[in-house]
Amino acid sequence: MRIFAVIMFALILGAVPASAWEEYIYLDQGVAISFPAKPQAMKSTYDSTLAKGLPSMIYSAEDDHVVYKLTVVDLTSRPDAGANFVNDAAYKLIREGDVLFTDFTRVYQNERSIHGVTVVVDRKDGTRVRTSLYYNKSRLYIAGATVLPARSDKDMTTPSRYDQTIRFPPDGRFD
């Protein structure tokens, strides 16, 4: 009887679809990141207190009441202000609600390191957003996962998985 129960349990687990995260490489944007579903891409503009109408690309996907979004802002016209744009975007986030967590992050080790900041905020609209911000090679990268109110488990680990998959090729190639 135990063998039958183990076999049934294994069959049930095998029938449940696993979340199929896949890495998407955007060579023209100098970044790779994993999404749980195929992201949509759209051109946009980015406004901050430092500049208005900066060209940007937004890649987004929604899965299980979580919106995953990568915004890449072109700062080639302002390459000396990268740190200011990172701090301005982080400041905007912390003003949106209650800050639960902040951390200084990095991608890669040693001389290849690209440092950034991660902020987790409970917004007034009932959403929780986890966002990591980086500046690299004249681009501002904003990788955010927004847990919508329809999802009751706001402490889930999946949003942190998203922003931790970001990669920047030091030599412009991902191979």
- Output the six-digit token pair for 122: 């409970």
Integer CA distances (angstroms), 85 to 93, 104, 138, in order? 12, 15, 11
What is the chain's length?
Answer: 175
Q: Which pLDDT value is given to residue 83?
A: 94
Task: Give the pairing of strands 97-107 and 66-74.
Answer: unpaired
Could you report the per-residue pLDDT of 64-84, keeping only the tens digit for each?
899 999 999 999 999 899 999
What is the tens place of the pLDDT at every residue in 21-41? 999 999 999 999 999 999 999
Total-model pTM: 0.85
Give the pLDDT of residue 11. 39
Q: Tokens in use for 20?
A: 């199929």
Residue-wise pLDDT for 101-148, tens only, equals: 999 998 888 788 899 999 999 999 999 999 999 999 999 999 999 999
Sequence-separated (6 or more) residues with CB below 8 Å from residue 66: 36, 145, 146, 147, 148, 151, 156, 158, 159
Q: Give the DSSP per-residue string, 30-72.
A: TEEEEESSPPEEEEEEE--SS-SSEEEEEEEEEETTEEEEEEE
Task: Look at residue 18 in the predicted model and tell me its pLDDT.
Answer: 46
Cα–Cα distance for residue pair 174/9, rounded to 1 Å: 40
